[in-house]
Amino acid sequence: MTLHTETPIGGGGDTLNPVTASEKNWGWFAIFNIWANDVQSLFGYSLVASLFISFGVSGWTAFAALICAGLFVMFLVNLSGAPGEKYGIPYPVLARASLGTQGAKLPAILRAIVAVFWYGVQVYFASTAVALLIRSLTGISGGTEVLGLTGVDWVSFVIVWAFHIVIFWRGMDWVETFLNIAGPFVYLVMIGLVIVLWQKADGQLLNAAQSIFVEPDATFLTEFNGFVAIVGTMVAYFAAVMINFSDFSRYAKDKPAMVLGNLVGLPFNMVLFSALALLTTAGAAVVYGEAIINPTEIVERTDSVLLSVIAAITFFAATVGINLVANFIPAVNGIANLAPRKINFRLAGLITSGFAFVIGGLWTSFIANFGIGGFVNTLGATLAPIYGIMIVDYYMLRRQTLDVAGLYDEVGGPYRFGNGWNNPAVVAFAIAAVFSVATVWMPALAVLSGYAWVIGALIGGALYYVLAKR
């Protein structure tokens, strides 16, 4: 697949154009791999592994919660992805229908800022896997540090940063190809790690796994509260991709391919991945005497150069995969939407990469210690109402019908709304965003956990429906 560059309907860069029929060639497997790569990061593994030991519930309750979370997220992304699949438009363009041709730039750039930040952070974390590989093969360690990174660290960082540029420079076909390779590869290595731990555990791995399913002091209330907390945690984990899923669904062959890909990519994938995480955690508990939720630490304790090399490649592939899905694509589309006539896919990618180099390069020495996470989380929280507004607008007000040419007409057209801003949507967004941001900063609202995102979306959608009807 190559991104087309013809003059779009009503103007705009090639990044935001409706995809052509020939470009809609992603089958269910490509959609599945979006979710496989989104889960299979180091953070995703640690998150899932921790769910079995952190919420005071039995393993069966944790599994049930993961399945319900997968089904719920699948339902939400089928809603947000349908207009992208039907009309071939990305998230920044879809947002124009509800917020206006100018108003849509606000949520698009908010999503882009969050994505650019985490894109840079993930480039750094992927580079740690390459550094592990170099050290495993050469035995090099230590050295003078510049901004908290040694020479090996900087070489690894530049390699990973350049690798991302190579991928996006070739277009979305290379992105799809990388995701299709990385997803299954990570599973193969995880299965291999389970086999290694099985052998080291002398056949006690299954017994250890079964012990995690036992919670002697559990009550119905503790199980229910843990169930709710796990579902909320996983919904929050996928929240960013849910809002801009049309960035990917627009490449789906048809709606059945999108729906099937979401089905196997979310509930089924989460069960399989969680089972492997459970077995790996159980094996580590038997072999090393403690429940280790960081796969890197497990690999380091095996004292195997071969396994370290394989793991380094795996962690690199997994981290680059989630970076492309959750960060790069929304960042590029959001930046291109600021000046669609001037910024195309490659230029937006270079801008994203430039910011990523600064953020990733300064992560260890400055940004990680600066407390910027609250700022980024605040921007992310403001996106929750946008989801509700877009869904209400598309399904309840427009009855799943959009004027594609009008979406690209920034001078007039049905989505100009006089001044480029749809006032009911802007008011609903502002009011609901106050609640969403408050959940980040007010300890009293921390009890809402991941459900703050869902509540923010519901408030935004409900307010917009009432105001738009008036």
Q: Concatenated DSSP letters for 171-186?
A: -HHHHHHHHHHHHHHH
Of the chain, the end-to-end C-alpha distance in Å amounts to 44
Question: Tens of pLDDT along 122-137?
Answer: 888 888 878 878 887 7
User: Does pLDDT of 274 surpass 50?
Assistant: yes
C-alpha distances in Å from residue 108, one per residue of 5, 92, 102, 243, 285: 21, 5, 10, 10, 44
Write out pLDDT tens, residues 360-390. 888 777 776 766 666 666 777 788 899 999 9
In one-letter notation, the amino acid at residue 382 is T
Average pLDDT over residues 136-157: 82
- Is the pLDDT reported for residue 28 higher than 80? yes
Instruction: Point out the least confidently predicted range of 49-53, 220-224, 286-290, 313-317.
Output: 49-53
**Contact by Cβ (8 Å): 127, 159:** yes
The arithmetic mean of pLDDT across residues 429-441, rounded, is 86
pLDDT value at position 343? Answer: 83
Give me the pLDDT at residue 295, please.
Answer: 67
Mean pLDDT of the chain: 81
Q: What is the pLDDT at residue 431?
A: 93
Q: What is the pLDDT of residue 463?
A: 96
Question: Measured between alpha carbons, how far is 402 from 87 in angstroms, rounded to an integer?
Answer: 8
**3 pLDDT tier (thresholds 50, 70, 90):** very low
Confidence band (pLDDT; 50, 70, 90) for 118? confident
Q: What is the pLDDT of residue 308?
A: 72
**Range with the lowest mean pLDDT among 215-219, 259-263, 279-283, 340-344?**
215-219
Q: How far apart are CA 416 and CA 99, in angstroms?
A: 9
Instruction: Among 28-42, 298-312, 339-353, name the one with the lowest average pLDDT.
Output: 298-312
Residue 162 confidence (pLDDT): 92
What pLDDT shows up at residue 262?
94
pLDDT band at 214 (very low <50, low <70, confident <90, very high): low
What's the confidence (pLDDT) of residue 381? 78
Note the pLDDT tens digit of each residue in 61-109.
888 888 898 899 999 999 999 999 999 999 999 999 999 999 998 888 8
Structural domains in the chain, CATH included, are 23-469 (1.10.4160.10)
pTM for the whole thing? 0.81
> Is the CB of residue 126 less than 8 Å from the CB of residue 368?
no
Give residue 56's pLDDT: 67
pLDDT category, 213, cuts 50, 70, 90? low
Distance from the Cα of residue 172 to its chain's centroid: 17
Helix segments in 88-171, DSSP class H: 91-99, 105-138, 151-169
Residue 6 pLDDT class (50, 70, 90 cuts): very low
Average pLDDT on 171-200 reads: 77
